[in-house]
Amino acid sequence: MSRRSLWPREHGAYFQLGVPLITALALRTPAPAAMAMSAAAVLAFLANEPLLVLLGHRGLRLREQAGGRARRRLAVLATSAVALGVLGLALAPRPALGMAAIVAVPVAALLALAWRKAQHTAAGELVAAVALTGAASPVLAAGGAPVASALAFWLGWALGFSATVLAVRRVIARHRRPASRRDRGLAVGLGIVTVAAAVLAARMPALRLSGATAAPLAGVAAAVVLAAPSATRLRAIGVVIAIVAVLAGVAAVRVAAS
């Protein structure tokens, strides 16, 4: 019998964390503090699955079978994440410390939801989108970006990925039924977010990064809701969202360079 993997099972979360982090590192010359904080965020993310196994949230049988392995992995990942996080904060400029303190709020909320087995509720997935994308903002600030730019960067990714969360949840809830009035209303709302992000980014230079990331993701979310695909197409939808997220990161880098 093969051993159950202890890698995080929420594949969309990899992109919610990874794409903004990589983009933040590409926007600035990576400082030692930024590299340490990035590594800490990745290790903390990887520690989530063994933690859930130990808490019994993946089932009591799995905890009995893989509890020892999960405990050892959690100890290594959590210790390494804390050590690198402390190192990054010690090396980081003051603006990055402030950003880290702000990001700690949704992270704490996410941990509380995980403890209550509420990670996969609508609230839990939206908080996760905010917390995971937020990890990139202190990294960007550690590279020398102003706090306002780091906040705008976070806002764009958080809005964009939150839009995709709503779209995917709607696909699952609707499954094989045709689009309803609720779908059309959500699509209109997401379309408004898309247009607003693009217009504000064009008119307000401080929000250019937000628009470059929020608009494409909100746009594809609106398209998904309006197209009303079956829930059997979730894998394909996830691939499309991942590709759009990567393209949004590239667009953000180009916007910053222009």
Task: Report the pLDDT value the prediction gives residue 35, as an integer from 0 to 100.
Answer: 96
Instruction: Give the pLDDT of residue 67.
Output: 83
Residues of the chain with pLDDT under 50: 1
User: What confidence score (pLDDT) does residue 1 get?
Assistant: 45
Separation between Cα atoms, residue 240 and residue 62, nearest integer Å? 32
Q: Residue type for 178, please?
A: P
CA distance 240 to 104: 30
Q: What is the pLDDT of residue 174?
A: 83
DSSP codes, 162-193 = HHHHHHHHHHHHHTTSPP-HHHHHHHHHHHHH
- Distance between terminal CA atoms of the chain? 54
- On average, the pLDDT of the chain sits at 91
pLDDT tens across 190-245, in order?
Answer: 999 999 998 988 888 878 888 999 999 999 999 999 888 888 899 999 999 999 99
Q: What is the pTM for the complete model shown?
A: 0.91
State the burial class of residue 236 (Cβ atoms within 10 Å of its Cβ: 0-12, 13-18, 19+). exposed
Query: Quick one: tokens of 163?
Result: 């839009």
Which one, of 110, 113, 101, lies nearest residue 137 by Cα?
Answer: 101
